[in-house]
Structure 1
Amino acid sequence: MTIIPTPELGDRVATVNWEVVVDELNEHGSALTDRLLTPEECRAVSALYDETERFRATVDMARFRFGSGQYRYFTHQLPDVVRELREALYPRLLPVARDWADKLGQPAPWPDSFGEWLEMCHLAGQSKSAQILLRYGAGDWNALHRDVFGEMVFPLQVVIGLDAPGTDFTGGEFLMVEQRPRAQSRGSSTTLPQGHGLVFTTRDRPIASKRGWSTGPMRHGVSTVRSGRRHTLGLVFHDAS
């Protein structure tokens, strides 16, 4: 069993320039953070993929026409690194979630306490872990999609790159496509540095218009990995049904 030390994870999250992250989220629907995990920690998390007892389910993306590649859902017995990152990131993202809900005139059910929010998910029938470890090989990709895990939804997620682009793999950029009102869709791609997080919208974001704010649906995916192997850790702030 792989043991992953997790020193100062909360401190690393705290030192992220959140003002810049929030500005980019509001402008683009996604934003890179500073480094959250060291290369050694990234390799240790990647190695968990072969410890099958840590996971409740494995999904072959080609089977479900999601793309090509594989990912696994952790059980609720999360590695400390995953648990601590979620707990540290939730209060940083909570103000954005509430601000977006206010702009769109939507409910904002998220309490200050992350534990209380997870209890609300469980009471609503969403009791399965949604934390994901993904593995892509050469030729693999992830189709553009919006995540749906149930009615209780936190509007932001974080994906952390665990391998070094250009060294461990090529290709495999993180993709986002924004459906703009009465206009053609707009796409973007992000190369995810090893150990850095990308905060992105789960489903949509508010877009300013002449009449106030409108909902901007967004989809995300991964471009084709051209060589090597790419692992990422997906942090979701609600549980699944």
Structure 2
Amino acid sequence: MSAVAGTADRTGTGADGDLARRVADADWASLAGELDAYGCALTPRLLTPEQCAEIAGLYDREELFRTTVDMARHRFGSGQYRYFTHDLPEPVAALRAALYPRLLTVARDWAARLGRPAPWPDSLDDWLADCHAAGQDRSAQILLRYGEGDWNALHRDVFGDMVFPLQVVIGLDAYGTDYTGGEFLLVEQRPRAQSRGTARVLEQGHGLVFTTRDRPVRSARGWSAGAMRHGVSVVRSGRRRALGLVFHDAA
């Protein structure tokens, strides 16, 4: 039986242990530097092509999801995504758990620079319990599916007052082979200046860490918050699927 079906070993061996090791082996100091500079950073490969295909294949299992969103209907762009229930498949839960403590270090550093509270405890479970106590109790983990001509408008995944400042999207298809176009977009709104854009190819199995709403920007008066939004450019051909990991829940 596959890890997706819920049989991965939680003791540090098996699929979950492999995922945790891949996350741990990333150069997090370098990634933190890229996040500081651009608001996003690409990790090494976290999922094998086989694992990517297995997760992408979950999209048609309706019992795994709490809702489906048609982006064109809501004028979010074009394409579709589904929110998982809280009963996450093993690799999704394992990746989220492994990534949280790595991102927590950056989150606390950013909060200190911006003079903001850092309400995030060491434990992801404790943080999610805080979200639920505040009325944000719906899963925000998503599978996204884009076809030719689809795109995602610039937006932020902020669902209430409880916000974790970083999130991760993982490519499930091979750029240039399975699809073209569909680059990840990040746009920074700069005060008294034109906006600055960044485009990144989402490589299969790699995670792109990016800011949920802003990043610290050095100014003459110290640090200020550079507001940022993200989206996806038009898919020119093929099918682009991705896994989105958000570290706060939705209201």
TM class, shorter-length:
over 0.9
Letter in 2 for 1:85: L
Aligned to 2:34: 24
Q: 1:72 aligns with which of 61, 71, 82?
A: 82
TM-superposed deviation, 1:3: 5.0
Q: 1:84 aligns with which of 94, 101, 109?
A: 94
Q: 1:205 aligns with which of 198, 208, 215?
A: 215
The 5-angstrom pairing of residues 79-158 of structure 1 reads 79-158=89-168
For normalisation by structure 2, the TM-score amounts to: 0.94
The 3-state SS of whatever aligns with 2:47 is coil
Letter in 2 for 1:108: A
- CA 1:114/1:3 → structure 2, altered by over 3 Å: closer, same or farther? closer
Residues 141-187 of structure 1, C-alpha deviations (whole Å, 9 max, x = no match)? 00011122111000000000000000000100000101112110000
Which ranges of structure 2 fall in alignment gaps of 5 or more residues? 9-14
Residues 166-213 of structure 1, C-alpha deviations (whole Å, 9 max, x = no match)? 000010000010111211000010001100000000000110001100
Q: Output the CA distance in 2 between the equivalents of 1:112 and 1:44.
A: 30
The number of equivalent residue pairs is 241
Q: Output the CA distance in 2 between the equivalents of 1:129 and 1:147.
A: 12
Q: Output the CA distance in 2 between the equivalents of 1:171 and 1:104.
A: 35
Aligned to 2:12: none
Check whether the contact 1:2–1:47 (CA below 8 A) recurs between aligned residues: no
TM-superposed deviation, 1:105: 1.0
1:60 maps onto 2:70 in alignment: yes
Q: 1:219 aligns with which of 229, 236, 239?
A: 229
Q: Output the CA distance in 1 between the equivalents of 2:166 and 2:3.
A: 28
Aligned to 2:245: 235
Q: Output the CA distance in 2 between the equivalents of 1:208 and 1:135.
A: 37
Q: 2:200 aligns with which of 187, 190, 197?
A: 190
Letter in 1 for 2:201: T
Aligned to 1:49: 59
The 3-state SS of whatever aligns with 1:170 is strand
Residues 44-98 of structure 1, C-alpha deviations (whole Å, 9 max, x = no match)? 0000000111000000000010000000000011000010101000000001111
Which ranges of structure 1 fall in alignment gaps of 5 or more residues? none
TM-superposed deviation, 1:35: 0.2
The 3-state SS of whatever aligns with 1:95 is helix
Q: Output the CA distance in 2 between the equivalents of 1:127 and 1:2.
A: 28
Check whether the contact 2:3–2:91 (CA below 8 A) recurs between aligned residues: no
Letter in 2 for 1:185: S
Identity in percent = 71
Check whether the contact 1:73–1:130 (CA below 8 A) recurs between aligned residues: yes
Give structure 1 regions of 4+ aligned residues with deviation exceeding 4 angstroms: none
Check whether the contact 1:2–1:48 (CA below 8 A) recurs between aligned residues: no
The 3-state SS of whatever aligns with 2:157 is coil
